[in-house]
Amino acid sequence: MSQMIASNSVCREERPLQTLRSTSDSNFVKKTYGGYFNVFVSTFGDVSEQWDLFRVIDGQFPEENDLDKYDGFVISGSPHDAFADADWIVKLCSVCHKLDQMKKKVLGICFGHQIITRVKGGKIGRARQGADMGLRNISIVKDNEKLAGYFGGEVPETLAIIKCHQDEVLELPKSATVLASSEVCEVEMFSIGDHFLCIQGHPEYNKEILFEIVDRVLNMKLMTQEFADKAKSTMEIAQPDRNLWQTLCKNFLKGRPEQV
């Protein structure tokens, strides 16, 4: 499933950053982190920054005239389908289209990755190989100057990331460039120009967040015990490359590849 939070975060060092959230916090995340908002800020933000939060699932959106106050946005995961036509999803697509016209930095994660695909004319739908949950290694496209800039030099051949989704990109927008793929998902990461970076996995997640999601979904009887056990087993001896993902995402949002 697409993740437990869909947020649109605007990131800037000298001006406020903005987060549009499209789902509610779980009790665990509230108790442990004070909400997903804090998970995002701690992963993608710096101490000197202010981030603004908008709960888009409840119809809370920034005014169009205020979009130019921000330099970068993060659209994160959601349990909802990015191809659905709920009012708030349609409005989020409209906001994303406006950000595209303004050439604002937008980091799309899971649901956000799929929303940007939709906005730019690609196709999304149910994952060809079924729902995916757990730690996965994805292969990074070689010789990409853009990624080299954000990583500060050598680009890793593979990166471990936590996955949690039942939908995927089926057809890329014509303007998109694939940056990573895996055995179970052809489009793990892509970019459009210098202002859109989209990731199917969750660079902000850690082991305890994944396990809590697995347990919660299992209790809702939306997955089998076998599927849950398999998802948890992927992290028995491995961890996501969160530091590398953080470097990539933060430097993309801030538009400062030379400062990695």
Read off the pLDDT of residues 231-247 as tens digits, 9 standing for 90 and up. 999 999 999 999 999 99
Residues tagged active-site: 110, 202, 204
Q: Give the residue from 58, 176, 62, 189 showing the smallest Cα distance to 121.
A: 176
Distance separating alpha carbons of residues 192 and 155, to the nearest angstrom: 19
- Reported confidence tier of residue 9, pLDDT bands at 50, 70, 90: very low
Residue 152 has pLDDT above 60, yes or no: yes
Q: Is residue 175 part of a domain?
A: yes
Q: Give the residue from 37, 95, 86 showing the smallest Cα distance to 61.
A: 95
pTM: 0.89
Residue 228 has pLDDT above 80, yes or no: yes
Per-residue pLDDT, 21: 54
Q: Is residue 74 part of a domain?
A: yes
What CATH number did the domain enclosing 66 receive?
3.40.50.880
Q: Residue 230 sits in which domain range?
A: 17-254
On the 0-12 / 13-18 / 19+ scale of CB atoms within 10 A, 75 is buried
- Model confidence pLDDT, tens digit, residues 97-118: 999 999 999 999 999 999 999 9
| CA-only gyration radius of the chain, Å | 17
Lowest-pLDDT range of 1-5, 47-51, 149-153, 162-166: 1-5
State the total domains in the chain. Answer: 1
Residue 19 has pLDDT above 80, yes or no: no
Residue with the two structure tokens 């130019």? 68
Per-residue pLDDT, 17: 52
Please, where are the H alpha helices in 5-86? 27-33, 36-44
- Model confidence pLDDT, tens digit, residues 46-59: 777 778 877 888 88
Distance separating alpha carbons of residues 80 and 89, to the nearest angstrom: 9
Q: Is residue 7 part of a domain?
A: no
Q: Is residue 1 part of a domain?
A: no
Q: Is residue 260 part of a domain?
A: no
Per-residue pLDDT, 190: 97
Q: Is residue 73 part of a domain?
A: yes
CA angle, 244 then 40 then 238, to 5°:
40
Residue with the two structure tokens 């100057």? 145
Distance separating alpha carbons of residues 208 and 235, to the nearest angstrom: 10
- Reported confidence tier of residue 230, pLDDT bands at 50, 70, 90: very high
Distance separating alpha carbons of residues 123 and 255, to the nearest angstrom: 28
Per-residue pLDDT, 18: 52
- Reported confidence tier of residue 12, pLDDT bands at 50, 70, 90: very low
Q: Is residue 8 part of a domain?
A: no
> Taking residues 197-210, what's their average pLDDT?
95
Residue 10 has pLDDT above 90, yes or no: no
Structure token pair of residue 17: 């950053």
Distance separating alpha carbons of residues 217 and 236, to the nearest angstrom: 20
Q: What's the mean pLDDT when you consider all of the chain?
A: 86
Per DSSP, the residues of 152-208 read: TSPPPSEEEEEEEESEEEEE--TT-EEEEE-SS-S-SEEEETTTEEEESSBTT--HH
Q: Is residue 44 part of a domain?
A: yes
Do residues 88 and 59 lie in contact, with contact meaning Cβ atoms separated by under 8 Å?
Answer: yes
- The residue with greater pLDDT, 44 or 15, is 44
